[in-house]
Amino acid sequence: MVKSSAPLLRSLMRVGKKQQRSAARLLTALFAPPKPAPKARAKPAPKLASTTAPRPVPKPRAASTAAPTPKPKPAPRAAPAALLKDAPAPGKWLTARYAGQSGQALRTMSYWLYLPDGAAPPSGWPLIVMLHGCEQSATQFAQGTRMNQMAQKAGYAVLYPQQSLSAHPHRCWKWYDRATQQGGGDVPVIVGMIGQVLAAYGLDRSRVFICGMSAGAGMANIVALNHPELFAGLGLHSGPLYGAGHSTVGALGVMQHGNGARVDSAIAEVLERRPGFPSMPTILIQGDDDRVVRPVNQVHLRRQAMLINDLPAATPVRVAHKAGGRSGLPHQLHDVYRGRKLILRVAQIAQLQHAWSGGDARLSFNSAAGPDASKMLVDFFGKHRR
């Protein structure tokens, strides 16, 4: 029996006036049919050289999935000119396409890469991988989160993979897809891209972190759970729990209600596939007023993070209450340690809706009111290495 999506649609649309536009856009993003294919036109065959990451050396070694590498080129700006009055972060802002295998198919994926200004440390810059949400591009995500500016201050490279319109008409990562949750779909492409960028720019392999917003958070979680040896930490902002959904209707159900029946069993399946799973330090950021991906998901993610890190349910939790101040929102930090090492931080932000905390509110899905989520992520990641 196929369940009707009508009750879920009504539930998603019963949100506050300030969130109705965001809810409607994400609803459309999940349920919209693919765009019709354009009429065939005669055009030159694509060159594999255009699908590889730029190298900073004159004679790079070619990756196993691509031809010789082109010279780096400045990344184009996707946002309207009116939104680009802020001075960009110093450093290099590069764009390229990666070509790699996903199952039996050769896939290409665009990405943007920020490299800080100045000399890298002997071990190379650490890397943060940022996955955007539905209805966002990589460049919009970079501007909205201001992660490049934060990375310049803290000394991080930042990689922004971009979901293609051919994979999803609204650039949604398919976090609800069962095959993707098990390591297929876009996962091998993202992992291959990370490996190529690490090698091309001599980045620090012991300090690679991945995070995302909304659907991007769901995808970041999937990538980390399937390749834990690659990442020293994980950050999820307004993300759904792992291992549930399995359809667009199911995805909406998870966003609104979580899925208590899958909390433990989904992690048990991961541990069965990956015996000896290493520790995965995690920070979870969630707005209490989010009616698109509701806070119950953070409750379930918290339980999953405890399980994946083999932390007993009775492990003490240190709670800090933070006042909002002039430009911020009051919030709580719930910290779980193993010995002296911070393993899990849960940030609950009062009054925050479905938006990046402390972001550029001129772009959708960003709230100017703090705390600054990008700073919270960088501060947390700075405590860890693989």
Which secondary structure element, helix H or strand E, spans residue 120, and what is its range? none
End-to-end CA distance of the chain: 46
Question: Domains (ranges, CATH) in the chain?
Answer: 64-381 (3.40.50.1820)
pLDDT at 318 (0 to 100):
98
Q: How many CB atoms lie within 10 A of CB 199?
A: 15
Phi and psi at residue 104, in whole multiples of 5°? -95, -5
The contacts of residue 362 (CB under 8 Å, 6+ apart) are 83
* Secondary structure, 3-state, 314-329: CCCEEEEEECCCCCEC
| Cβ neighbours of 115 (radius 10 Å) | 23
CA–CA distance, 292 with 367 (Å, rounded to integer)? 15
H or E segment and range at residue 103:
none
Q: Name the nearest CA neighbour of 12 among 253, 364, 280.
A: 253
pLDDT < 70 positions in the chain: 1-87
Residue entry with tokens 């899958």:
262
- Which of 377, 282, 288 shows the shortest CA–CA distance to 330? 288
Least Cα distance to 131 among 18, 205, 221, 71 occurs for 221
| pLDDT at position 100 | 86
Residue 216: Cβ-neighbour burial (10 angstroms; 0-12, 13-18, 19+) = buried
